[in-house]
Structure 1
Amino acid sequence: MEGHEIVGFVAGFGTTFAAAPDLLAILKRRSSQGMNPTMAGIMGSFQIMWVYYGILIDSMPVVVWNIIAVVINFLMVGVFFYFARIGKN
């Protein structure tokens, strides 16, 4: 693995899992209070474009990291609405 590939791997890992601590905190406290799902939704939407870009340039790391990031961000949105709905009942 060359130097630029290592940098790309580390950068992809970092940006992909940046939202994971917030997701885990929401799940732990079982509340979406204080969370705005808009950013996660926007990030997930644009990461879909990164997946497409990765396909265009034939870069499997770009595709894989961004698919994982899309899942994390849309889980954030889903968890937000799940706990928001439960909180109203």
Structure 2
Amino acid sequence: MEGHEIVGFVAGFGTTFAAASDLFAILKRRSSQGMNPMMAGIMGSFQIMWVHYGILIDSMPVVVWNIIAVVTNFLMVGVFFNLPAL
């Protein structure tokens, strides 16, 4: 693995799991209060474009982390519609 790929994986880890921490917090408190599903849906939609871009430029870090981010954001939307806002 080359140096720029290592930087890409570290950066992707940070940005992807920043959103995942919100998902874990919502699940822990069992409430979707304060969550904006529109933001998560928009982010997930544009991250699909990042996945496509990563494929076009043959960048594994861009592809991998954005696939994880897409799943995380769409899980957030699903959680919003399945948990009460207390």
Same fold per superposition (TM over 0.5): yes
2:61 is aligned to: 61
Cα distance in 2 for residues equivalent to 1:12 and 1:29: 26
Alignment of 1:1-89 (within 5 A): 1-84=1-84
Instruction: Determine which structure has more spread, i.e. the larger CA radius of gyration.
Output: 1
The CA RMSD over aligned residues, in Å, is 1.6
Cα distance in 1 for residues equivalent to 2:56 and 2:5: 18
4+ long deviations beyond 4 Å: none
With 40-49 and 16-25 compared, the bigger mean Cα shift is at: 16-25
Cα distance in 1 for residues equivalent to 2:75 and 2:16: 13
Shift of 1:5: 2.5
Q: Tell me, yes or no, if the aligned pair for 2:5 and 2:61 is still in contact at 8 Å.
A: no
Structure 1 residues 49 and 19, CA gap change in structure 2 (3 angstroms): same
Cα distance in 1 for residues equivalent to 2:8 and 2:57: 15
User: After superposition, what is the alpha-carbon deviation per residue over 1:24-53, rounded to whole angstroms, capped at 9, x for unaligned?
Assistant: 111011110111111111110000000000
Report the residue type matching 2:74 in the other structure: F
Query: Structure 1: 5+ residue runs without aligned partners?
Result: none
State TM-score, norm by structure 2: 0.89
